[in-house]
Chain A
Amino acid sequence: MQLEALNVGFGYRKNNWTFRHIDLSLRKGEIVGLVGPSGAGKTTLGRILAGYEQPLEGTVKLNDAPLPKTGYHPVQLVFQHPEKAVNPKWRMKDILHEGWNPDDELLERLGIDRDWLQRWPNELSGGELQRFCVARALGPMTQFLIADEMTTMLDAITQAQIWQAVLDMAKKQNMGILVISHEAPLLDRLCSRIIDISSNVMREG
């Protein structure tokens, strides 16, 4: 059971690669960090793994099969900016229940107030919205989670609270997590190994 990127390359124009020849593998239940300088393509790689973008070359495989094109995607991505990841015209309860119905215990552990469910997205802060995005992505069919700067906008205590909830959930469902972050202490704490995207890259002019 693993998520694999084989020789993946991506760029927005021909012969202008953002990155090339990336190999990466993530087993179920494993927590791996992904680091690299700004603009190295960490987010783009995350989007490719979660099926948001198609790589220009190479393939992404889940359990030795290509990623599914329709239906619930087994690799879920939590974005850096939750404001853009929720429909501003939906109430929070609809947003939360779009993929599955999280139980009260998970909501409590993520620090989601029951009153918030009746609100509109613009009535919550970025940190509060992000908790909904995390809860939404942790459905029972999620096998891998890509956390792209998931808790960057939060204070240290809330950050710890949310990661604790996510880790417990991951353990329960035997979920693999790819943590994209600039915060070395966080990665050291969470991850069993850390991949540096820039050491993997062959830049071409």
Chain B
Amino acid sequence: MKLNKRQSAILMSAITTVLLVTILVGGLLVSNDRIVTNLEYRNLPPSLAHPFGTDWLGRDMLFRTLKGLSISIGVGLIAATASVIIAVCLGIMAATMGRIADAVISWLVDLFLSVPHLVMLILIAFVVGGGMKGVIIGLALTHWPSLTRVIRAEVMQIKAADFVQTSRRLGKSRWFIAIKHIFPHLVPQFLVGLFLLFPHAILHEAAVTFLGMGLSPHQPAIGIILSESMRYLSTGMWWLAFFPGLLLLLVVRAFDLIGDRLRSLVDPYRANE
């Protein structure tokens, strides 16, 4: 069977989505009994019984990794979605609500961009009380500025385009123009923004957690697994970092792939490829 690029894009996105959902759901379904400490099986290299090996407390690394990834995907998705929503709202407001709104929002963007993400993230996470909630709110509130800028510029450019001006002269309302003309041009920005923010969100979550300001250590988030395994790398236990790291890479790459395919699906210039 020969597929054209459109069909193969749909197929690829479907397969990757299934993979991600499997990891997410699988991680949620793994009960905590599977990752209890079991000192009989400490420091085992990968084998059939323990494909990812076990750690210094005898916990199975495959289940820990799955659980960690599902937590990270969840946190990353919620935070990235919230960030994109904030960015879209502020970007559209800046472009359409006049000079004062534009000045205020642009100033906010500059302010947030001038402070390092991590510092801002730690401050916000600390203020709202830390833990999972703190990390999500912190991530959502720090990752919107650059996308806001892109969307503001995009809306301004489309607003001035001849076809929008013509639409006004053909008697169309502002609402019609916003929904039918401007919105379709923003969809690729949402998608690309979402899938570009996602790895950022996960890595920042790991970093905050590593610094002890994020998720609590008994939640096996991927950041915690990686930072813990650092201490054991020098003793030759390579599997502790290798498999979780590889899987994180795969997940991030999967999101990247979905973003790319979706963009090519919504772009008329590539409609018939």
Residue positions of A touching B, CB distance < 8 A: 50-52, 70-73, 76-77, 79, 81, 84-90, 98-99, 120-123, 136, 139
Contacts and interface: CB of A to CB of B under 8 A. Distances in A.
B163 A86 contact: yes
B56 to A, nearest CB: 56
A110 to B, nearest CB: 18
Closest 6 CB pairs of A and B: A72-B171, A99-B170, A73-B169, A120-B268, A84-B162, A89-B184
B268 A77 contact: no
A122 B270 CA distance: 10
B11 to A, nearest CB: 23
Interface of B: 161-172, 180-181, 184-185, 268-269, 271-272
Nearest to B272: A123
A98 B169 contact: no
A85 B163 contact: yes
B271 A98 contact: no
Contacts of A123: 272
Nearest to B169: A73
Given A79-B162, A86-B163, A73 B170 contact: yes
Chain B, interface SS category: helix
A52 to B, nearest CB: 6
Contact of A120 (B165, B169, B271): B271
Contacts of A87: 163-164, 181, 184
A98 B167 contact: yes
A89 B268 contact: yes
Given A85-B166, A89-B185, 19 more contacts: A50-B169, A71-B171, A72-B170, A72-B171, A77-B166, A81-B162, A84-B161, A84-B163, A85-B162, A88-B268, A88-B269, A89-B184, A98-B172, A99-B171, A120-B271, A122-B268, A122-B269, A136-B170, A139-B170
Contacts of B181: 87
B170 A98 contact: yes
B6 to A, nearest CB: 13
